């Protein structure tokens, strides 16, 4: 059933009774989201402000447009400019019980990937001197951040739909390959809210853009607003030993080597495409849903498949790696492929736009 729904969500021409039911439900959901947005716009629902600059990094569709690597990119950029930065995340699928929990104070990590959620834990691992906080109520977590860390800027990871907290800059990421899917709201499509709500964005970033000019879907919503293009680029191979020591390797280390790949991200196909672009010899692979919670049976299945495939190395994403690297004894070397965002010729324009809006807004 789940696969059938996902197939219809990503289809332009799905027909039949079930597709019609999903279409009706999507109309109802879109109506609810429009009413909700209007209630905030009219002041019936309160929008709260914090005494520092707020930057939201989000998207309008389900799936992996690259919010986490973009949050990392902007956090590092702002830190280099001399700003005190804190990241707030919902901590999706994290098991934490507190209203707000400090994952890291920028020096020490206090939570693991299971309790914090894979993405906040990954950000805490990759950032120094930048605290990470998780909590479903961003305003309350923002208040904690202000009291404990006195930030100049708070970054909201995945918060375009979180209207309760005022933001100075609303950044919306769109996958350049298919920015709006079939233009339907969930459950008939992949949009979290109607595409007309893109008007709330202050600027757009097309990810996985390469030479793509596929912006016709969003053209009506990007008039007179900055649009930037960036790409997910392989950064480094990462390996952590049992003592927690991290070793980094150049991505070409596994060139022409037989690898077995597994991932539990929103766009598993893009992970395999990146491995193929590095000339890794992919002899087998396994895919899971985004934010998959790996259990012992999953890992045993992966190891059995690895042995049967004849692979010499096992490869996964950073987000998956932080959850599984120490769960079992891996019989072959296990690596994570780290990625980073690169804007190419748009780098200076993007960074100066963010800097100017933070400084002058």
Tens of pLDDT, residues 164-181 = 999 999 999 998 888 888
- Quickly tell me which residue has 């809210």 as its tokens: 193
Q: Are residues 205 and 249 in the same domain?
A: no
For strands 101-104 and 132-134, give the pairing.
antiparallel
Q: Are residues 264 and 347 in the same domain?
A: no
Q: What are phi and psi of 76, to 5 degrees?
A: -65, -40
What pLDDT is recorded for position 65? Answer: 81
Q: Are residues 161 and 239 in the same domain?
A: no
CA distance 135 to 142: 9
- Joined together, the tokens standing for residue 149 give 């860390």
Answer yes or no: is pLDDT of 1 > 90.
no
Q: Are residues 213 and 289 in the same domain?
A: no
CA distance 55 to 330: 40
145 is a domain residue: no
Mean pLDDT across the stretch 242-249? 78
Q: Are residues 269 and 318 in the same domain?
A: yes
Answer yes or no: is pLDDT of 237 > 80.
yes
Answer yes or no: is pLDDT of 212 > 70.
no
* Higher-scoring residue by pLDDT: 211, 357: 357
Answer yes or no: is pLDDT of 282 > 90.
yes
Q: Are residues 226 and 236 in the same domain?
A: no
What pLDDT is recorded for position 310? Answer: 94
Q: Are residues 208 and 324 in the same domain?
A: no
Q: Are residues 246 and 322 in the same domain?
A: yes
What pLDDT is recorded for position 213? Answer: 59
Q: Are residues 72 and 190 in the same domain?
A: yes
CA distance 164 to 129: 28
CATH code, domain carrying 174: 3.40.50
CA distance 147 to 128: 20
Provide the mean pLDDT of the chain.
91
Mean pLDDT across the stretch 250-279? 93
Number of separate domains in the chain: 2
What pLDDT is recorded for position 220? Answer: 81
| Angle (nearest 5°) at CA 324 between 323 and 326 | 105
Q: Are residues 187 and 239 in the same domain?
A: no
What pLDDT is recorded for position 267? Answer: 85
| CA distances to 63, 134, 177, 262, 320 from 289, in Å | 10, 22, 20, 11, 11
What pLDDT is recorded for position 210? Answer: 76
- Quickly tell me which residue has 């072959």 as its tokens: 332
How sure is the predictor about 11, in pLDDT bands with cuts at 50, 70 and 90? confident
Q: Are residues 238 and 257 in the same domain?
A: yes
How sure is the predictor about 244, in pLDDT bands with cuts at 50, 70 and 90? low
293 is a domain residue: yes
| CA distances to 288, 325, 332 from 243, in Å | 28, 12, 17
Give 142-154 as a DSSP string.
HHHHHHHH--SEE
Answer yes or no: is pLDDT of 272 > 70.
yes
Question: How many other C-beta atoms can be found within 10 angstroms of the C-beta atom of residue 360?
Answer: 6
Evaluate if pTM is beyond 0.85: yes
Residue 228 host element (H or E): strand 227-229
What pLDDT is recorded for position 161? Answer: 95
Q: By the 8 A CB rule, do 190 and 121 touch? A: no
249 is a domain residue: yes
Q: Are residues 289 and 161 in the same domain?
A: no
Q: In what order do the strands lie in the sheet with 53-59?
A: 101-104, 132-134, 85-89, 153-157, 53-59, 169-175, 203-207, 227-229
pLDDT digits over 110-160, tens only?
999 999 999 999 999 999 899 999 999 999 999 999 999 999 999 999 999
Q: By the 8 A CB rule, do 58 and 187 touch? A: no
Q: By the 8 A CB rule, do 149 and 158 touch? A: no
How sure is the predictor about 8, in pLDDT bands with cuts at 50, 70 and 90? confident
Q: Which domain holds residue 281?
A: 232-341
């Amino acid at each position: 059933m789940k696969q059938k729904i996902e197939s219809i969500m990503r289809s332009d021409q799905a027909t039949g009774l079930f597709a019609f039911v999903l279409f009706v439900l999507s109309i109802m959901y879109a109506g609810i989201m429009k009413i909700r947005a209007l209630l905030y716009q009219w002041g019936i629902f309160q929008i709260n402000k914090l005494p520092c600059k707020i930057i939201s990094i989000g998207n309008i569709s389900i799936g992996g447009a690259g919010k986490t690597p973009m949050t990392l990119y902007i956090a590092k950029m702002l830190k280099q400019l001399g700003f005190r930065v804190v990241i707030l995340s919902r901590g999706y699928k994290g098991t934490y019980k507190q209203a707000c929990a400090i994952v890291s104070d920028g020096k020490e990590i206090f939570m693991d990937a299971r309790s914090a959620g894979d993405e906040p834990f990954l950000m805490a691992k990759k950032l120094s001197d930048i605290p990470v906080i998780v909590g479903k109520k961003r305003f309350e977590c923002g208040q904690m951040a202000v009291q404990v860390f006195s930030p100049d800027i708070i970054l909201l990871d995945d918060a375009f739909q979180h209207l309760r907290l005022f933001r100075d800059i609303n950044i919306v990421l769109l996958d350049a390959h298919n920015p709006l899917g079939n233009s339907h709201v969930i459950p008939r499509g992949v949009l979290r809210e109607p595409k007309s709500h893109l008007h709330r964005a202050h600027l757009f970033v097309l990810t996985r853009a390469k030479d793509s000019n596929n912006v016709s879907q969003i053209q009506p919503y990007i008039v007179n607003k900055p649009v930037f293009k960036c790409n997910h680029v392989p950064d480094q191979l990462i390996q952590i030993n049992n003592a927690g020591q991290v070793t980094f390797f150049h991505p070409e280390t596994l060139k022409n080597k037989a690898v077995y790949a597994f991932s539990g991200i929103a766009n598993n196909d893009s992970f395999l495409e990146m491995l193929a672009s590095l000339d890794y010899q992919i002899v087998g692979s396994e895919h899971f849903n985004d934010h998959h919670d790996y259990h012992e049976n999953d890992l045993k299945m992966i190891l059995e498949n690895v042995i049967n495939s004849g692979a010499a190395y096992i490869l996964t994403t950073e987000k998956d790696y932080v959850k599984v690297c120490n769960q079992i004894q891996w019989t072959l070397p296990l690596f994570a492929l780290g990625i980073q965002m690169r804007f190419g010729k748009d780098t200076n324009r993007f960074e100066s736009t963010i800097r100017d809006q933070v400084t002058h807004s």
